[in-house]
Structure 1
């Protein structure tokens, strides 16, 4: 990566996007609504700290969704400190639910500094996950990463939401491939809780082709069985994003 590559490129939309950080109010998505519905149900049941909540299967039937969808919503509540997962026992209420509202955690202003904090948090985690993924990177796992990037390439000229989802799917897939369940869940929580910030990072960064190239470089290192290089490529990728985003935010 050259110093020229690190220079922020002009983008007409950046001033408008940065200004929007102070007023944007993202609409709750399906995951937000299910999470709030879960909270409402637990409140209706009168559950208190220490009480066990219904099983995943029971909740999936109640809301007519897949068990995995319920698990993802429960992980979001765990990340908020509201639930306690006890291996072999179940999921328990950890904090009082009476005043909890999580359907749209971004009802106020988006803080530009949080964008940088989010990238910093990912920088601490994802290079290590990429390194671990090399050890477990069998043909099927690598084919899945390739499939995600192929879809992302086809969406380079498409909607921001579609491309953002595919890019994050790539990072989530590497986290799963690492085999570290704790860090994998941490990544899921970060990306779920800060979905609005992730979208804003994509829009402020505004370099889809470079993003695609750097994702391919990470995949190439994983496919080639080079853990140190995979970690380095992931670190350079996230550092480059941070450099550009910070420069553009500070300039406006």
Structure 2
């Protein structure tokens, strides 16, 4: 299971942040992008830029998540997870196996994006809002090279899929290797690749702005 290591943020603070994001030169168009993050390919998954959609999804601010990682988190003590596990009739070991399997699949997807292995790009996993509420989502990773800067960066697209599969259903599916593989294969046949040409252009625009901002600060 993946969870951002972010601080909990009150709704009022999030709304305020939407209106007064530090570095106000950021284009308003970027606020309307899908939920994704940009990571430096050499920084091992450290988030360098998070869209407004990503911030809204997790209930965090840019300052909360940038500089953090999309990394495995132990949520086995989650009250919601315990309740769902009981309803699903899963044992503690089966829940642990389910979480481990989803985490491993997500990590393999990052490796695949780096070109070190071949696995399906789309990975259904359980994530958690900053409030602790669990939800089913799909993570897709892609390695991009900016056409003029020549900078290699990773883009991680996070799409909520709660309408297609429940937390309960995903947890049960991932408890068995075969059923999880079947779920991934089924979704690979039915979903559309979220990395459209339009999104690719937006990614490059966001990456270029981030690059120039960091260059001006002497980061690069």
Normalising by structure 1, we get a TM-score of: 0.27
More helix by share: 1
More strand by share: 2
Q: Which has the larger radius of gyration?
A: 1
Normalising by structure 2, we get a TM-score of: 0.30
Instruction: Report 1 or 2 for greater relative contact order, CA contacts < 8 Å, sequence distance ≥ 6.
Output: 1
